[in-house]
Amino acid sequence: MIYAANLKCNHTKKSYEIYANELSNALGSNIDSVIVFPPFTALTQNKFKFTQGAQNFYPAPNGSFTGEIGSDMLDELDITMVMIGHSERRALGEDEPFLRAKFDYAQSKGWDIIYCIGEDDITHMNGSTKEFLSDQLSNINLNYENLVIAYEPIWAIGTGKSAKAEFISEILDFISTKTTAPLLYGGSVNITNIDEIKAIKSCDGVLVGTASWDAKKFLDIINKG
């Protein structure tokens, strides 16, 4: 199982140091794959047992891109894991051509990519989730060897209401007809629903937001089952 923590815009450099040490010290040597995406100001060269990833990056080594992080800055920290397509970045204006540019750039670097897809409430309610996801997936190279897909229905993110296991299973099965990439589920994963999500056959892991911001809570999820 892959356990990925999206810390979003939470944790200062100081609080992340405490979080990361607590998490790392509690992870055994025989751990499943644990990945943490801290905010940029907290990102350091990795001295922890888990992998660190970048929540975002600009698809260029450097340049006149005010406020952006280029690959030179990630290379300096040996970061080779990136997240692309999170709904919160799409909502800020990252459209399909830009996401494609990010994907292609990350692929050219050989980075590990967690590529997020997911439908909004209206799409879900009118039953066109699969068509919608197919469109999102048609934007990237599904044969890329270092790809992980995270299915994150927008209506389940940060709401405390995860999608039902049966629905997640149906959607992950659908995605697995298109790619052999490992598949994650994200959307209000927590200690009460991790067991049934882990039990889904085509689910290779989880992307956790809110319930990962406290190291103890994230560890509880990792250690459950």
Which residues form the catalytic set?
A: 86, 152
Q: Sketch the per residue contact string, 2 through 41, with ligand PEP: x for CB under 6 A, - otherwise.
A: ----x-----------------------------------
Record the tokens describing residue 100, joined without a space.
Answer: 């494609």
Q: Give the CA distances from residue 224 to residues 3, 115, 218, 219, in Å, rounded to whole numbers and listed in that order.
A: 12, 25, 10, 8
- For residue 77, the minimal CB distance to ligand PEP (Å) is 22
187 contributes a contact to ligand PEP by CB under 6 A? yes
Burial of 71 (0-12, 13-18, 19+ CB in 10 A): buried
- Beta carbon nearer to ligand PEP, 70 or 158: 158
Return the range that interacts with ligand PEP (CB under 6 A); candidates 43-51, 135-143, 167-175, 186-194. Answer: 186-194
Q: Which residue is nearest to ligand PEP (CB)?
A: 209
- H-helix or E-strand spanning residue 123: helix 121-125
Number of residues binding to ligand PEP, judged by CB under 6 A: 13
Phi, psi of 54 (to 5 degrees): -100, 130
Query: Residue 75 CB, nearest distance to ligand PEP (Å)?
Result: 25
Q: Which residues within the stretch 199-218 sit at the binding site for ligand PEP (CB under 6 A)?
A: 207-211
Q: Which is nearer to ligand PEP, 74 or 83 (CB)?
A: 83
For residue 189, state whether it binds ligand PEP (rule: CB under 6 A). Answer: yes
Cα-Cα-Cα-Cα dihedral sign, residues 69, 71, 72, 76:
positive
Largest CA distance in the chain: 48
The CA R_g of the chain, rounded to the nearest whole Å, is 17
The structure tokens listed for 144 are: 């890329």
- Choices 38-46, 69-77, 184-192, 194-202 (CB under 6 A): range interacting with ligand PEP: 184-192
CA–CA gap between residue 38 and residue 169 (Å, rounded): 29
Quick check: 188 binds ligand PEP (CB under 6 A)? Answer: yes
User: Where on the chain is the footprint of ligand PEP (CB under 6 A)?
Assistant: 6, 152, 157-158, 186-189, 207-211
